[in-house]
Amino acid sequence: MRWKPLLASFAFLMTSMSTGRAETEGPGLKTVHLFNVASAAAEADLLGALDEMNQAIAKEGYPQSRYRMWKVQGDQQGNHAYLWESTWPDRAAYAKVHDAQSYQRAFVHVRSAIEASVKDEVYNRYVEVPLAPPKK
């Protein structure tokens, strides 16, 4: 089953983010999913699912951290035609949202749409590498 990596990612995130440890502090965080979809209908289902999750994110006070989906335009390089991403001010905000009941309810509600839509997924979390301040 191709959706198992996605479920494993979310299960790991739900358990690791609820610890309240110092790992939730730090620089900005970006999550990136590279994937394919099976059809235009699957794309539409995923967009609807992400919209529902974005409503939960906004309810927790982070509307700027919404999920966004991108599709390759022009000649494709590599195997993945889609990118689903979000940017968070820090790991604490990410943890707060993912621990929230409203987010967890939304994810449970839309999980089947995500599982049916996302194929060949690669998932990574990135922390910001701050640029050096300008020299005077």
CATH assignment of 4-19+27-127? 3.30.70.100
pLDDT tens-digit series, residues 9-61: 444 344 334 333 334 456 899 999 999 998 999 899 899 999 999 999 999 99
From CA 91, how far away is CA 16, in angstroms rounded?
11
Element of type H or E holding 35: strand 29-37
Element of type H or E holding 85: strand 82-88
Confidence of residue 98 (pLDDT cuts 50, 70, 90): very high
From CA 15, how far away is CA 9, in angstroms rounded?
10
Which pLDDT belongs to residue 1? 46
Work out the mean pLDDT of the chain and round it to a whole number.
82
CB burial of 55-69 (b: ≥16 within 10 Å; e: otherwise) equals ebbeebebeebbbee
Which pLDDT belongs to residue 122? 94
Q: What is the pTM (predicted TM-score) of this model? A: 0.74
